[in-house]
Amino acid sequence: MTTTTEHPPAFEPSAIPLQSLSDSKIISVNLYPTRAEVTRLFRFAVKMGQNQVNISGLPNCLESESLRVEGRGAATIHDVTVSMDKREAVATTSPKLDELLKKRESTSHALTRCEKSIASLEQYLGSLTVQHLEVTNLDTVLHSYEATGERLDAKKAGLTEELRVIDGEITDERQRLRVPHEDDKLRTKAAIGVFAKSAGDVEIALVYAVPYASWTAFYDIRVDMSTKENPVTVIYKAAVKQSTGESWDDVPLQLETSTPTFGLDIPKLPPWDLYFERVHLASSAMLGSGPPVISAPIAPTVRKESRRHSMLGSTIESDEMAEAPDMGYAVAAVSSKGNISATFRVPGLASIPCDGDVHNFTIVELSLKATMSWVSVPKVDPKTHLKARITNASEYTLLNGTASVYVDGSFISRSVVPAVSPQESFDCPLGIDTSIRITYHPLIKKLSHSGFYNKSANYVFSQRIAVFNTKSVPIEQLKIVDQIPISQNAQIEVKLTNPALNAPSLGGGGGGGNSSLTIGKNAPPKEPQVVKVGKGVKAQWDGVDEPGCEVESLGVDRKVNWICSVGAQDKLNLSLEWEVSVSPAKARVVGL
């Protein structure tokens, strides 16, 4: 009796081939300053049991360690494998191309023969004379010449057109040979094992990071000098470019201000050792001369930390659950914000081809508060510089970027906007204001002597500065900066007489000598001193309005500034006076 045992068939998973471009769509792109995170959604049917999903056509630059798979449906994701598709060598020819090249050569030879026949016919007709041709036969010869010439001309025209058509077919065939290999940047494959409890439709999203994609901020800054409230409009823009290998067509685009980083762990301090220099006297003696050789300490070996990388997550949304873009918004919205970074959601859908070209988007238009001021250092340059202290009273984080500055509709200059957080202020140069004219008059110096036995020389200096506001509106916060000399010797005493600003007596000047600045009382001031020298004009030591100003250090650099309010078509005069006493009188002083 024979018994047979039937073995169950080998388990074979169901293969599901998918092509990235045709079988999926991009549902989200989070663009960072140096890379992008792309979310692709696939929808397909699975069979009950094990399924092997093979996705091809992913970007070559895809960072495999960043790839993650998320899904929906009655199935379980088992494993994910990323590999590179090895293509065959690019074909440079084909049977059709070889046939076209042979046909072109044959047609070209036929055209050459036809041209030689036409030339021979012309030569034959030109060689006929009365001795070779009777007049009665002339009509017959000319008739034959016309018929033969017409036939040859028609043949030449046909061969020329045929040659043109063949050349076009050759060009098309060579182009066709290149077409299948235009997607050489999309050769990454992903194999995903999916176990389904039952047959049905599922959704799988691939989330991956790619380099070669970036965005940078740039700005248009428009200043309206006739407006008191919110005179500055900042148009926040983004320049986006990508060459990842795949085009982003009609995708939701989010711009991230943070930058994914690698290996930025908290730094560790290496040991800081103190040791005696070790001098090799024997080596020096053997050399006979020259400096002793000093052995340097061996630099500590720095162990490279492992690189770490993190990307922000992305949420999958089906078309049925996704909200339609709000067409009422003309600018980007802040979808998340914080003290470190923010996310800008570009309105609607964006299309950014894989061409490496810059594509510009407007993020938002901001009307910001600003304090306008003018600054001039007429001793160096009488021009007046206009600047604005702008407060970012918005919820947007401003990234570092270039800015085109327009004042009253006219382009003035290019500037740079630093990284600015919400509620933070920054200075923005606005160029030269030619309507503020400043004259720095020649310095007036007077000399006198005092003392009987030990005579000293007394110098009195007077500097006048004239300001003319040619505007039709008054201006405020005009700062004029000037200086008095710094003494580097105890026998040289400098005394400021106008404006009457107080400062402590300072010894040990910048050159190490006993310098002295005598101005009123010697007690150090507790508060920055401000002296009113005229209507709408106050004088102070330069640096009072600088961040982190230290009252005790005011006057050390001997710089003075005036803060002025000047009416429309109005003028004012400023005066800076000081005295210098030198003992003995015959001493030569450099700098006077």
Last residue of a domain, one of 432, 450, 480: 432
Three-point CA angle 56, 62, 64, nearest 5°: 95
C-alpha 189/C-alpha 186 separation (Å) is 9
516 in a domain, yes or no?
A: yes
586's tokens: 């015959």
Last residue of a domain, one of 161, 180, 199: 180
State the SS3 of 139-157. Answer: HHHHHHHHHHHHHHHHHHH
Residues 254 and 347 in one domain: yes
What element of type H or E holds 285?
helix 281-287
Write the CATH number for 40.
2.60.40
567 in a domain, yes or no?
A: yes
Residues 198 and 228 in one domain: no
Residues 321 and 224 in one domain: yes
Residue numbers of the domain that contains 147:
95-180
CB 540 within 8 A of CB 530: yes
Residues 549 and 450 in one domain: yes
State the SS3 of 75-134. Answer: EEEEEEEEEECCCCCCCCCCHHHHHHHHHHHHHHHHHHHHHHHHHHHHHHHHHCCCCCCC
C-alpha 42/C-alpha 25 separation (Å) is 7
284's tokens: 């020096």
Residues 28 and 122 in one domain: no
Number of helical (H) and strand (E) elements in the chain, helices listed first: 4, 32
Q: Please identify which residue in the block is written with the tokens 């061969």.
A: 159
**Per residue in 92-104, is it b (16+ CB within 10 Å) or e — as a string?**
eeeeebeebeeeb
CA torsion angle 189 191 196 201 (round to 10): 0
193 in a domain, yes or no?
A: yes
Residues 153 and 139 in one domain: yes
In sign, the C-alpha dihedral spanning 241, 427, 552, 490 is: positive
325 in a domain, yes or no?
A: yes
Residues 556 and 520 in one domain: yes
Low-confidence ranges of the chain (pLDDT < 50): 1-10, 180-182, 281-330, 336, 338-339, 506-516, 518-522
DSSP letter at 290 equals S
275 in a domain, yes or no?
A: no
Residues 49 and 166 in one domain: no
What pLDDT is attached to residue 504? Answer: 52
Report pTM: 0.60
Q: Is 559 helix (H, G, I), strand (E, B) or coil?
A: strand
Into how many domains does the chain fold? 4
C-alpha 481/C-alpha 539 separation (Å) is 10
C-alpha 383/C-alpha 434 separation (Å) is 7
What pLDDT is attached to residue 488? Answer: 85
What pLDDT is attached to residue 455? Answer: 79
470 in a domain, yes or no?
A: yes
C-alpha 583/C-alpha 454 separation (Å) is 8
290 in a domain, yes or no?
A: no
Q: Is 443 helix (H, G, I), strand (E, B) or coil?
A: coil
